[in-house]
């Protein structure tokens, strides 16, 4: 079975296209169900965030699945294939695993090291697993990615400093206002991104933070989480904007809530007082044309790329350490992948030796019949342990071979040397999830 990832992200697609390929808006469950109906994949996970839309799949026919998944991304979202295909990236097998590990580690994020992505990866897997769209391959892959994310956060300082969109927003605000002490901040929306951005602003000494949301209860909870923030009703949004220096737009609205005309009207009484607007919503909350208004400084998610480059330069050493961790974990995952092709042969070899052991014990049954029951049990145990010890090293080495081609060659040689039958190789009791198969490890026993 092959691994495949197909997607678009901030690296390959403009914000306008990413807004149109939003699986969250149309329902992850529905996307998984629709993809399963096409039949090209056996397992699938859909990861959809502000900056990426990716499908991870386990499939039998790599080329067929690749073309079908690309077509699905286009068809499900109602976007012409000609608009999607030029921006799509693909990776297969261990490169697909490497990509996911880098995503989970925050290495592929808009702001490198941002912590939210690991939770989003976990949530994507949870949805797919709950819908029974995952199996042994993607379960193993995603759980390995969780471990990568944890290692990077505990063994490096990649997660310190400028690690979020909120921090990038603060960096941009400083370029406009200099010191942020005494400035007023308005957060439109009560979601996680707005809350995190407000916390960053508050840490810079801004004098007031106000939360506006369509639901006052949501705004109140966000204000409480921030600490010391005010709450204003949705109907007072214009007045709240008029009294603010910095506006963080982070709602889940389907269309812009702040048009050019609306902001233009609010700017007239400000008398050249600058307004910094950072639109971190997806789809966007602010019409792009609003940035043409004098003294209005509008930035969206794509504008944060400059902050990303600065962040990368400062933390190049930590990035190198994180990449080393990813490489180590890809190698571990590769060992597991290669071991999968050896499992049928390992199971067949064990069964072959067990059949020989049982046949010989049965052949000698007339000689052992006079032995006490505990002696016969001990004989059975001794012969079983001998078989286990004989097979321990060969089976472990077979599962640790360097590439699938070599595994195949060794497996074929063992099949021929021991005349392993096709029936044994296709035995129904052979474990499907070989992540649970452990090599023989004889029990330690004291001497008698």
Take residue 258 and report the two structure tokens written for it. Answer: 């702040």
283 preceded by cis ω (within 30°)?
Answer: yes
Interatomic CA distance for residues 248 and 295, integer angstroms: 16
What is the CB-side half-sphere exposure of residue 318 using CA atoms within 13 A?
A: 23
Active-site entry in 8, 50, 104, 170: 50
Take residue 390 and report the two structure tokens written for it. Answer: 């004989």
Count CB atoms within 10 A of the CB of residue 272: 7
List own/partner pairs for 127-133 with CB under 8 A and 24 or more apart: 127/28, 127/29, 127/32, 127/45, 127/46, 128/28, 128/32, 128/43, 128/44, 128/45, 128/46, 131/29, 131/32, 131/33, 133/32, 133/36, 133/43, 133/44, 133/45
Instruction: Give the H/E segment covering residue 3.
Output: strand 2-9
Please answer whether residues 203 and 254 qualify as being in contact, where contact means their C-beta atoms are separated by less than 8 angstroms: no
Cα–Cα distances in angstroms (integers) from residue 184 to residues 38, 191, 274, 290, 416, in the given order = 52, 19, 12, 20, 77
Interatomic CA distance for residues 443 and 382, integer angstroms: 11
Nearest to 25 by CA among 303, 239, 255, 295: 255
Interatomic CA distance for residues 247 and 389, integer angstroms: 69
Active site residue 50: yes
Interatomic CA distance for residues 382 and 441, integer angstroms: 14
Specify the length of the chain in residues.
Answer: 448
Residue 413: what are its φ and ψ, rounded to 5°?
Answer: -65, -45
Take residue 140 and report the two structure tokens written for it. Answer: 């193993």
Helices (H) and strands (E) in the chain, counts: 19, 10
Residue 59 carries which DSSP code? E
Residue 421 carries which DSSP code? -
Cα–Cα distances in angstroms (integers) from residue 321 to residues 152, 315, 317, in the given order = 8, 10, 6
Instruction: Give the residue numbers marked as catalytic.
Output: 50
């Amino acid at each position: 079975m092959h691994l495949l990832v197909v997607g678009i992200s901030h690296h390959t697609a403009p914000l306008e296209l990413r807004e149109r390929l939003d699986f969250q808006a149309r329902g992850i469950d529905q996307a998984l169900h629709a993809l399963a109906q096409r039949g090209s994949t056996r397992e699938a996970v859909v990861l959809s965030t502000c900056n990426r839309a990716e499908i991870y799949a386990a499939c039998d026919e790599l080329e067929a699945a690749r073309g079908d998944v690309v077509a699905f991304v286009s068809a499900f979202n109602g976007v012409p294939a000609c608009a999607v295909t030029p921006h799509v990236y693909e990776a297969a097998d261990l490169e697909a695993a490497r990509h996911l590990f880098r995503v989970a580690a925050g290495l592929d994020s808009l702001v490198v090291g941002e912590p939210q992505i690991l939770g989003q990866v976990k949530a994507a897997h949870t949805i797919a697993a709950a819908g029974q769209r995952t199996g042994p391959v993607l379960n193993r892959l995603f759980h390995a990615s969780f471990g990568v994310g944890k290692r990077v956060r505990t063994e490096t300082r990649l997660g310190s400093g400028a690690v979020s969109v909120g921090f990038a927003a603060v960096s941009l605000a400083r370029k406009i206002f200099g010191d942020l002490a005494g400035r007023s901040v308005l957060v439109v929306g009560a979601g996680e991104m707005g809350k995190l951005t407000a916390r960053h602003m508050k840490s810079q000494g801004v004098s007031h933070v106000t939360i506006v949301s369509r639901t006052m209860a949501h705004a109140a909870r966000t204000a409480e989480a921030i600490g010391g923030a005010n709450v204003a009703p949705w109907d007072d949004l214009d007045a709240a904007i008029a009294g603010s220096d910095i506006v963080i737009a982070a709602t889940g609205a389907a269309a812009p809530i702040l048009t050019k005309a609306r902001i233009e009207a609010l700017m007239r009484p400000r008398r050249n007082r600058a307004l910094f607007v950072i639109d971190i919503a997806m789809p966007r909350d602010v019409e792009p044309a609003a940035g043409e208004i004098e003294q209005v400084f509008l930035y969206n998610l794509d504008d944060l790329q400059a902050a990303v480059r600065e962040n990368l330069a400062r933390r190049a050493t930590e990035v190198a350490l994180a990449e080393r961790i990813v490489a180590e974990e890809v190698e571990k995952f590769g060992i597991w992948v290669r071991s999968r092709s050896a499992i049928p042969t390992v199971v067949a070899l064990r069964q072959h030796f067990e059949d020989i052991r049982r046949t010989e014990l049965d052949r000698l049954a007339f000689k052992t019949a006079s032995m006490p029951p505990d002696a016969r049990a001990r004989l059975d145990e001794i012969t079983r342990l001998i078989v286990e010890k004989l097979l321990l090293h060969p089976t472990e080495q077979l599962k640790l071979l360097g590439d699938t081609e070599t595994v195949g060659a060794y497996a074929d040689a063992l099949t021929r040397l021991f005349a392993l039958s096709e029936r044994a190789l296709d035995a129904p009791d052979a474990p499907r999830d070989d992540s649970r198969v452990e090599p023989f490890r004889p029990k330690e026993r004291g001497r008698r």
